[in-house]
Every structure is written in structure tokens, then in C-alpha cells.
Amino acid sequence: MKFPLLSFIVWLPIGSLLILLFIPQRYQKVFRYIALCTMLLQGIGVGFVLKHFMLGADLLIGTGASSSLRLLEKASWLRLSLGNLGTLTIDYFLGVDGLNITLLLLSMVILIVGVIASWNIQKHTKAYFALYLSLSTLIIGSFIALDLLLFYFFFEIILLPMYFLIGIWGGTKRAYAAIKFFLYTLLGTIFLLMTIIGLSLSVYDPVGTGINIGVIAPGETPSAEKVATVQAMVQANQVAPENVVHSFSLMLMTDAANFVPGTTLSLVDGKTIGGQPGRLIAFLCLTIGFLIKLPAIPFHTWLPDAHVEAPTPISILLAAILLKIGGYGFIRTAYSIFPEGAIHYGFWIGMLGLFSIIYAALNALAMQDLKRMIAYSSIFHMGFVLLGLASLTHEGVNGALYQMFSHGLIAAMLFIIVGVIHDRTKDSIIENYSGLATKMPYYTTVAVIVFFATFGLPGFSGFIAELLVLLGAFRSASFNAFLPRWVAIVATLSIFLQAIYLLWTIQRMFWGTFSLRYQQCKDSLSDLTAREYTMLVPLLLLILILGIFPSLLLDIMNPFVNYFVTMVNEVGRQNLEKIVH
């Protein structure tokens, strides 16, 4: 029997959590070591996943347009009778491909760093690490779940540990920030839920349906011809509704032939909502839901408050991983299931990305709180993700995925930098510091390097990400005409705005004569500790390595990107012609 490696990395933290619950509160150090050992074991598991991914053979799921997957784990979870509408199946379905494998690697690096950053947590230590372990399971589960309802399960429950981690261990306005985070994200999941309900009644499993009508024998591995036969029968309304087996499989949803004719989200006789095709409305609902999580302007206002009030380890996780779930979900669902929406709204998604870039840069320039400035810097970089996706070119999509990975590493370092100074003085206001280089030279050196990496200095991973996105934006004008060249030109010039606020921050905080507003904290301004070096040095090495050898990441992503760009451009245009004309 094959070892369930994916299930192991998902559920290991829950096993550790159950052990932790039986340990008395007074053993605070034990809780830390349990969390650290769990993250390290999880990281080893992800290492084996990467090894098998690189060596394994492709496995195609579904028919027609489908992505290559490896290390699949699938089991029946729920089977519900819908009466005369057929049967609804919900599967425990996990898998990795070129889209989620890189985010899986990023998550493990950051989760390990987050535990080390949590080492000095003293308040309700047992509860804190219990929530942290549960958050680890939910993050990993969100990235590798291939059943839409299972993905929604992980994605939605992330709200709970994050709400408590901000609301209990946050700053003075933690309750306000936690509630704002919860309500904004809940609003996004409501938009997702509406689309999920529509998909549950529209998508069917051709294999399960084929078994019901006798075309496929139970237990048989059907040929592509038999699957195509079942699809043709369903599309021709030759299958009774009660024999249709509905499915939440994300892989089946990428093939329009797996939609029941006449349903709201079908290409064949699909319904309209308010005069608009249901598939385009569904794309917009998914877009809003994931843009809140990303976040993009104007759905961003929860993020600066959450970052300012969250404890440093949670800010690290929030910026480095949780925002990426929004980008991942956007690609995995909206773009892959409804490619015609990506074609129809491509220009506007690009404009939203451009507006997010400029607006975030201008706001960062006005910020006095270092945490709030970095929060707007995250919105700036997520704007590049949107711009790369909107271009729908190989360079642009590669750049968007590279940006998510690169920003995860850089954002983690930025919040560690803030955490270092905040731990010593309990203050993160930029103007309250000057000349820190004279008191904390090693801290200053690392901080300046990270700031340079943030605005994409050549030699760092951020430069590769932004370069690819901008190349894709420029090429889009001739490749598919989604983005005019002026969009790419303005996006390129916006990097200058980012350099201004980062260099100004360096000038104010680190150079000049040493001064500190709260003089009683002067003696506490020690340089970096061994624990802080342990967090910063590996991340710094990674952004340098990926800045010099980008093929390490691009070679993993390229097969998926090649399939994805071709599928969305070709299938999206075909689908759009069917539902609009």
C-alpha cells in the first residue's frame, strides 16, 4: 500500500495538537518544541513530496483540458442523494502540480520560521501553539485540496485560528483588527459559496455517471473513448437526471464537457443572471472572493489594520502565506474553471492590478508606522501578481507565480525586521528612530539588504519576478491584445515610487545621528540575536539564490504555466464565443 504522504503532511499538526492538549499548562517549553518538531517533520514530508514530484510520471485527470498532477490521494467522503437531480459526491481528493508545489515549499519554510519567531510568546502559550498547529494543517490543506468543497472547508476554517491569534495576542486595537479581518474574509467566502452551490448542480462525474447507465463497469479504469461517450450522451440529454453523478472535483470542472446542459453554469443552453451569462457572473463572484484575500484595491482595508495589531509571527504568516492562498485560489478556480471570464475581463483585471500598484505605493509613502508601510508594500506586490495573470502570457504568468513565492520570502523578512525593533522598544513608528546603524550595525545591514530586495534590485528574487511580469505585460499587446503597452510602461515607472518610500525609510531610521524617542529603551537596543539570525539568514540566502538561479523555480512551474496559458487563451476564447453570441 502506498504511503499517504500528502495526508501525512496535512494532518500531522493535528496529531501533535492532540498530544499538546494533554500536557499541563506549566510545561511551556514543551509546547514550543512540539510545534517546532512538528513543522520540521512536516518540512521533511514536503521534501519527499518534491522528490516524488520531480521524479514521478504525469497523471492526467479528467478529459480534454486538464492539468498534470502527481501524488494523488483520493477517497470517497460523502455521497448525497439529490432526488430526481441525481447524486452528489464529495471526495477527499489531494494532489500536487506545478501550481501548488512551489506554494507548498514556501508554506513550510515560513511555518518553520513562524515557530522560531513565536519562541518568546508567554501569554497562553498552550493555546497559542495549539492554534498555530491547526493553522498549519489548514494552510497545507488549502493548497493541495483538489475537491472544491474540501478546499472551501480548509479555506473557510482558517478564519477561526487567525481571528483568535490576532484578537488575543495582538496589539492594543487587536479586537477591532480581528473583527475586521474576520468580516472581510467571511464576505469573500460568501461569494465563493454562491459559486460552489452553482457548480455542485452543474458539474458531473462522467465515470460515476457512466457506471450508473452501464457504459462503464464498476471498478473499471475507463478509456478516454468511454468517457467521451458518456459526455456526448449527457450533452445530448440522453441520460436521465436521476442517473447523473454530480461532483466537486476541481479537475472535472476545468472541462466544459463535464457541465450538465441547461444548468446555470453550462456552456450549452446555460442560464443568464441579470441578462449576463451565468459563467461570467460566477467568474466575477470567485474574483471578488479571492481578491479580498489577496488583497487588491478596493478590498484591502483589512490588511494594514491586521498587520499593525497582529503579533510578529502571525504578521509573517499573514503576509507570506495567507495572501498567497488568495492568488492560488484565483488561478485554480476562476481562471481554470471559467477561462472565458479571464478573456472577457482580462483588461479590467490588469487595470485593477495597475491601480493597486500605484495606490499602494502612494499610501506606503505616506505611512509613519513601519508595519503599515510594509502592509501596503504587500498590496503593491500583489498588484504585480494580478498584472502578470491579466497578461495571460507565458512570461507574465511565470512572473506572477514567481512573485508569490519571492514576496513570501521577502515579506517574512520584512516583518522579522519590524519584529526585532518592536520587541526591544514596543514601537514601530518610523520617525521615532534615527541612526540605528550606530547601535545595531548587523541589524541595519540585513534590513538595508532586505529593503533593496523588496524593490527588485538585480541579484534578488524580486527582480526576476517583476522583470517577468513586466515582460509579459509588454508582450500581451502583441500576443493577445489584453493589455495595451501603456499599462506596462506605467507599471514599470511605479517601481520608482516603491524605491522612494523604501529609501526614505532607510534614510530616516538607519542613517544620521542616533536618536530614540523613548530613551528608556536605549539600553535594550541590542543587535541581532542567534534566534533572529536563524530566521533571517536562510531567508536571505533563498532570495539571493533564486535571484541568481531563477531556473530552480521556473523549471518546476513551466510545465503547468505552458498548459495554463495555452488552455486559457484557446479554450477561453472558444467558450466566450459560445456564451456571448
95-128: per-residue pLDDT in tens?
A: 999 999 999 999 999 999 999 999 999 889 999 9
Q: Dihedral (C-alpha) 306, 311, 312, 317: value to the nearest 10 degrees?
A: -60
Both 307 and 372 in a single domain? no
Measured distance CA(177)–CA(199) in Å, rounded: 33
> Residues 467, 324: one domain?
no
> In the listed set 292, 313, 334, which residue is the last one of a domain according to the structure?
334
Residue range(s) defining the domain that contains residue 544: 345-548
In single-letter form, the type of residue at position 73 comes to: E
In this structure, is residue 389 part of a structural domain?
Answer: yes
Residue 277 lies in a domain: yes
- Per-residue pLDDT at 67 exceeds 70: no
Pair 349, 297 in one domain: no
Across 542-564, average pLDDT: 94
**Burial tier of 24 (Cβ tally within 10 Å: 0-12, 13-18, 19+):** exposed
Q: Is 70 left (phi over 0), alpha (psi -120 to 50) or beta?
A: beta
Domain boundary among 334, 369, 387: 334
pLDDT of amino acid 68: 66
Mean local confidence (pLDDT), 460-484 = 94
Q: Is residue 440 part of a domain?
A: yes
Evaluate if residue 58 carries a pLDDT over 60: no
pLDDT at residue 561 tops 90: yes
Q: Residue 370 burial by CB count (10 A; 0-12/13-18/19+): exposed, middle or buried? A: buried
Q: Are 552 and 102 in contact (CB under 8 A)?
A: no
Confidence check: pLDDT of 61 > 90: no
CB count in 10 Å sphere of residue 273: 15
- Using CA atoms, how far apart are residues 103 and 322, in angstroms rounded to an integer? 11
Asked whether residue 187 is domain-assigned, the answer is yes
Crossing angle, helix 441-454 and helix 394-425, to 10 degrees? 150
Q: Are residues 413 and 542 in the same domain?
A: yes
pLDDT at res. 64 = 34
Q: Among the three residues 289, 304, 334, which one is the final residue of a domain in this structure?
A: 334
Using 50, 70 and 90 to split pLDDT, how confident is the model at 505? Answer: very high
Provide long-range contacts, Cβ within 8 A and 24+ apart, for 226-229: 227/63, 228/63
| Residue 63 confidence (pLDDT) | 30
What cell does 522 get?
Answer: 536605549
Contact present, 227 and 236 (Cβ < 8 Å): no
Residues 427, 473: Cα–Cα separation, whole Å: 40
Residue 503 has pLDDT above 50, yes or no: yes
Same domain, 302 and 350: no
394-425 and 100-117 are packed helices; what angle lies between their axes, rounded to 10 degrees?
Answer: 0
Rounded Cα gap, residues 50 and 56, in angstroms = 10
Q: Does 283 lie in the same domain as 134? A: yes
Q: How far apart are CA 472 and CA 483, in angstroms?
A: 10
Same domain, 312 and 391: no
Residue 508 confidence (pLDDT) above 70? yes
The SS3 assignment for 531 reads helix
Is residue 402 pLDDT above 90, yes or no?
A: yes
Grid cell 539571493 is found at 544
Is residue 311 included in any domain, yes or no? yes
What number is the average pLDDT over the span 357-373?
A: 93
**pLDDT confidence of residue 66:** 41
Specify whether 312 is located in the same domain as 418: no
Does the pLDDT at position 57 exceed 60?
Answer: no
DSSP letter string, 275-336: TEEHHHHHHHHHHHHHHHHTT-TTS-THHHHHHHHS-HHHHHHIIIIIHHHHHHHIIIIIIH
Total domains in the chain come to 2
Give tens-digit pLDDT for 78-89: 888 888 888 999
Distance CA 151, CA 155 (A): 6
What average pLDDT does this structure show over 423-447? Answer: 91
* % the chain with pLDDT above 70: 97
The confidence band for 496, taking pLDDT boundaries of 50, 70 and 90, is very high
- Mean pLDDT estimate for the chain: 91
Lowest mean pLDDT among 269-283, 373-387, 399-413, 514-528: 514-528
Mark whether 359 and 260 lie in a shared domain. Answer: no
Is 556 a domain residue?
no
Task: State the greatest distance between any 2 C-alpha atoms of the chain, in Å, as a whole number.
Answer: 83
Rounded to an integer, the average pLDDT of 129-152 is 96
Looking at the structure, do residues 118 and 252 belong to the same domain, yes or no? yes
Span 242-291, pLDDT tens digits: 989 999 999 999 998 899 998 889 887 777 787 888 899 999 999 999 99
What mean pLDDT do residues 138-160 have?
95
Confidence of residue 32 (pLDDT cuts 50, 70, 90): very high
- Torsion sign over Cα 45, 62, 342, 267: negative
pLDDT tens track for 215-243: 888 888 888 888 899 999 988 889 888 98
**Average pLDDT of 417-440?**
90
Kindly state whether residues 392 and 263 are assigned to the same domain.
no
Instruction: Kindly state the percentage of the chain with pLDDT values over 90.
Output: 71
Residues 137 and 176 reside in one and the same domain: yes
* Sheet with 245-247: strands ordered across: 59-60, 68-81, 87-96, 245-247
Other C-beta atoms lying within 10 Å of the C-beta of residue 7: 16
Task: Report the range of poorest mean pLDDT among 47-56, 279-288, 463-472, 481-490.
Answer: 47-56
Q: Does residue 65 have a pLDDT over 80?
A: no
- Positive or negative, the CA dihedral 402, 541, 102, 154 is negative
- Whether residue 536 is contained in a domain is answered as yes
Within-domain flag for 52: yes
pLDDT at 60: 40
The pLDDT value given to residue 224: 84
Whether 1 shows a pLDDT value over 70: the answer reads: no
Over range 392-407, report the average pLDDT: 96
